[in-house]
A and B are shown apart, each in its own frame.
Chain A
Amino acid sequence: MVKEHDNLDPRGEQTLALRLRVWRQSRGAVGHFEDHALAAVPTSASFLEMMDMLNEQLIKEGKDTFAFDHDCREGICGMCSMTINGMPHGPLPGVTTCQLHMRNFRDGEMITVEPWRAKAFPVIKDLAVNRSAFDKVIQAGGFITVRTGSAPEANNTLIPKSVADEAMDAAECIGCGACVASCKNGSAMLFVGAKINHLNILPQGQPERERRTLAMVKTMDDAGFGNCTNYGECQAHCPKSITLDVIAKLNRDYLRARVKEFFSSTGKPRKGGD
């Protein structure tokens, strides 16, 4: 996308001059966009490095920097969370913001940077949002009961390769929240589907299977996430390319859990009454 031999830095690397429209918001206050110009951005810089450059420029100008979440900067922690030109994690499919490089933008381009937009993810400051609703969903059922202590014999629980692969595909979810930000309903079904599937299809996840499904869906609903209407935007924006399969399986598991709950045994009648 970058024009050849245009805007070279002293090391001969191509650079970009950008116009940035970045969201500014303090906790509880109404937010607004701020316009900034940033010159000499190397095309090899990641998007977060470009944001670092902007913040350094703001510090030199004596202005407040933009707050944004980041941690590993290698695409595995799920902390970075920016909606770039309307797309969570930006225009390159299958990567997080930290793995998006400036060579994917044009010289002179106007880039709009916003936080994740969803009722369940309130803005803490500028581009940083509170994603503790995801933590609550995990606390509700994202665990298994195991004996602690010495490691168990590896071959005690046999798991077919296809099942292990399927569980690993679901476990790839890094919980960044791009599915919620990209969904036109603010739904967290891709996240919850991935987390439920990852445990529900493995033998170790069976004891809590029904309880997990019902509790995680209930917590998801209570947190204020929307309902899935099968747009498929979440899959298209997921940096780990988790597919809608996990949502179909979540729906199936939820139906199964409700039926089993409805027809569950009520136990023996107590003798002599309570």
Chain B
Amino acid sequence: MSACSCCQPASIGKKIVMALSGLVLAGFVLGHMSGNLLMFKGAGAINGYAAWLHANPGLLWSTRAVLILSTVAHIWTGVLLTLENRAARAGGPAVEATRRATLSSRTMPYSGVVILVFLVFHLLHYTFRTVALGGQEFGENVYAMVVAGFSQPAVAGFYIISMILLCLHLSHGISSVFQTLGLRNERWRCRLDIVATAYGWLIALGFISIPLAVLLGCIK
């Protein structure tokens, strides 16, 4: 078994990789969201935070390396699992009936794809600064860049929709991490589902508050 386990990972092995990489990414979005909320403290706070991050290239690049690795592992296992599951289902019954599977669990591949598209756009937008900024140069002024970015309703709208889908993705994903690692039972299943949904909303509302504040003119 161990001889070919690298080229043909076991079903549970893939699930464990998916769970652990998802856990890293879920932890990252909390940190990212907390940093973003500095927008409400003013230009000095957020620009200072950005400058501090860039002044610590070791921390920045080791975090980026872990995130890139986790993202690749998460996408790779996600694609493998989705394709294998479609094949195993053999089309499914003519009449589809769902008794318990939640909307978030049934839409994981779709919410995942939209989040990936958003991720690419988001990196091009605020990290590489090549799209949707009208060719303006902001330099160290992250605050002005974010305000300029979210002043466009289409960009802010896409951001808000993506964050709602991220909430949906997290509300199934976080609870599933515990199940996949064997740390869940009937008593804890409902509690963990509530924790996961609450975490999803916390992340989504935290992120959404910024484009909303820009659109409503609270952040200028």
Is B184 in the interface zone, CB < 8 Å from A? yes
Partner among A237, A253, A258 whose Cβ is within 8 Å of the Cβ of B99: A237
Q: In whole angstroms, how far apart are the Cα atoms of A261 and B10 in the complex?
A: 14
- Asked whether A233 and B101 contact (CB < 8 A) given A117-B92, A117-B93, A226-B84, the answer is yes
In the bound complex, do residue A224 and residue B88 qualify as a contact, i.e. CB atoms below 8 Å apart?
yes
CB contacts (< 8 Å) of B95 on chain A: these are: 83, 85-86, 112, 114
Partner among B2, B16, B94, B180 whose Cβ is within 8 Å of the Cβ of A230: B180
In the bound complex, do residue A227 and residue B14 qualify as a contact, i.e. CB atoms below 8 Å apart?
yes
Chain A nearest CB from B103 CB (Å) reads 11
A28-56 near B? 1/0 per residue, CB < 8 Å = 00000100000000000000000000000
In the bound complex, do residue A229 and residue B189 qualify as a contact, i.e. CB atoms below 8 Å apart?
no
Partner among A183, A217, A252 whose Cβ is within 8 Å of the Cβ of B182: A252
In the bound complex, do residue A221 and residue B184 qualify as a contact, i.e. CB atoms below 8 Å apart?
no
B1-25 near A? 1/0 per residue, CB < 8 Å = 1100000101111111000000000
In the bound complex, do residue A227 and residue B1 qualify as a contact, i.e. CB atoms below 8 Å apart?
no
Interface centre among A224, A227, A249 (most CB of B within 10 A): A227
Is A251 in the interface zone, CB < 8 Å from B? yes
Partner among B2, B12, B89, B101 whose Cβ is within 8 Å of the Cβ of A251: B12
Partner among B15, B90, B178, B185 whose Cβ is within 8 Å of the Cβ of A186: B90
In the bound complex, do residue B11 and residue A221 qualify as a contact, i.e. CB atoms below 8 Å apart?
yes
Q: In whole angstroms, how far apart are the Cα atoms of A217 and B89 in the complex?
A: 18
In the bound complex, do residue A255 and residue B181 qualify as a contact, i.e. CB atoms below 8 Å apart?
yes
B124-160 near A? 1/0 per residue, CB < 8 Å = 0000000000000000000000000000000000000
Partner among B8, B85, B94, B172 whose Cβ is within 8 Å of the Cβ of A114: B94
CB contacts (< 8 Å) of A112 on chain B: these are: 94-95
Partner among A225, A228, A229, A247 whose Cβ is within 8 Å of the Cβ of B108: A229
Is B62 in the interface zone, CB < 8 Å from A? no
Partner among B11, B84, B89, B186 whose Cβ is within 8 Å of the Cβ of A184: B89
Q: Which residues 145-187 of A have a CB within 8 angstroms of B?
A: 181-187
Partner among B8, B81, B90 whose Cβ is within 8 Å of the Cβ of A229: B81
CB contacts (< 8 Å) of B16 on chain A: these are: 251, 255
B66-87 near A? 1/0 per residue, CB < 8 Å = 0000000000000001001101
Q: Which residues 216-266 of A have a CB within 8 angstroms of B?
A: 217-218, 220-221, 224-233, 235-237, 243-245, 247-255, 258, 261
- A interface size (C-beta, 8 A): 53
Is B162 in the interface zone, CB < 8 Å from A? no
Closest residue to B12 on the A side, CB-wise? A254
Q: In whole angstroms, how far apart are the Cα atoms of A250 and B84 in the complex?
A: 20
CB contacts (< 8 Å) of B105 on chain A: these are: 229-232
CB contacts (< 8 Å) of B89 on chain A: these are: 117-119, 183-186, 226
Partner among A215, A226, A235 whose Cβ is within 8 Å of the Cβ of B85: A226
CB contacts (< 8 Å) of A214 on chain B: these are: 1
Chain A nearest CB from B26 CB (Å) reads 15
4 tightest Cβ-Cβ pairs between the two chains A and B: A252-B182, A86-B97, A226-B88, A186-B88
Q: A187-B88, A226-B88 are known contacts; what are 19 more A-B pairs with Cβ within 8 Å?
A: A85-B95, A87-B99, A114-B94, A119-B89, A184-B89, A185-B88, A186-B85, A217-B12, A218-B10, A227-B14, A227-B88, A228-B11, A229-B85, A229-B105, A230-B179, A231-B106, A233-B98, A251-B182, A254-B12
Chain A interfacial positions (CB closer than 8 Å to B)? 33, 83, 85-87, 93, 112, 114, 117-120, 181-187, 189, 214-215, 217-218, 220-221, 224-233, 235-237, 243-245, 247-255, 258, 261
Chain B interfacial positions (CB closer than 8 Å to A)? 1-2, 8, 10-16, 81, 84-85, 87-101, 105-106, 108, 172, 175-176, 178-186, 189
